[in-house]
Amino acid sequence: MSLWYFLSVFLHIVFSAFWIGGMLFLPLVILPEIKQHPDRIAILYKTGLKFRFYGWIALVGLLTTGLLNMHLRGMPFTWAFFSQNAYGILVSWKLLIFTGILLVSGTHDFLFGRKALEELQVSDNKNFKLLARWSGRINLLLALVMAFLGLVLSRGGTI
């Protein structure tokens, strides 16, 4: 393996740690700490916008390094590879789940999360807050499945 491959894998792991760590940091550290704070909505809004910016950089980095890792390992981008052997099928699942993460993240970041914060400022209606919470949880679950599949793939690709 080349130095470029190891650098790409290293960056892939860093992007993954940032993505998963950020999704855990918000509900486990920030939200409990600001629950009774008078400016909690403003703090949550500013924190969310900052993480959204860096989170999307991490997602682009994950896509880029993931595809680069495949290329540097000599994996073919063919239908046969993605459908006819166990390793390729796991890579296919990873790509499919990543697409799901992009869809859930986009919906969470640009619809549910923003609407939830707007809703909290004007009323006690919490429909979008519930949708934002659950889309965040689904995203975290998908990210953890992706990390597990990455581990399986790095160890030979069979479960």
| Tens of pLDDT, residues 114-127 | 777 676 666 666 77
- Binned at pLDDT 50, 70 and 90, residue 152 comes out as very high
| DSSP letters for the chain | --HHHHHHHHHHHHHHHHHHHHHHHIIIIIHHHHTT-TTHHHHHHHHHHHHHHHHHHHHHHHHHHHHHHHHHTT---SHHHHHHSHHHHHHHHHHHHHHHHHHHHHHIIIIIHHHHHHHHHH-S--HHHHHHHHHHHHHHHHHHHHHHHHHHHHTTS--
CA distance 141 to 111: 20
pTM: 0.86
The dihedral through the CA atoms of 24, 30, 36, 41 has a sign that is negative
Quote the pLDDT of residue 121. 65
Percent of the residues in the chain that have a pLDDT greater than 90, as a whole number = 58
**Mean pLDDT, the chain, as a whole number?**
89
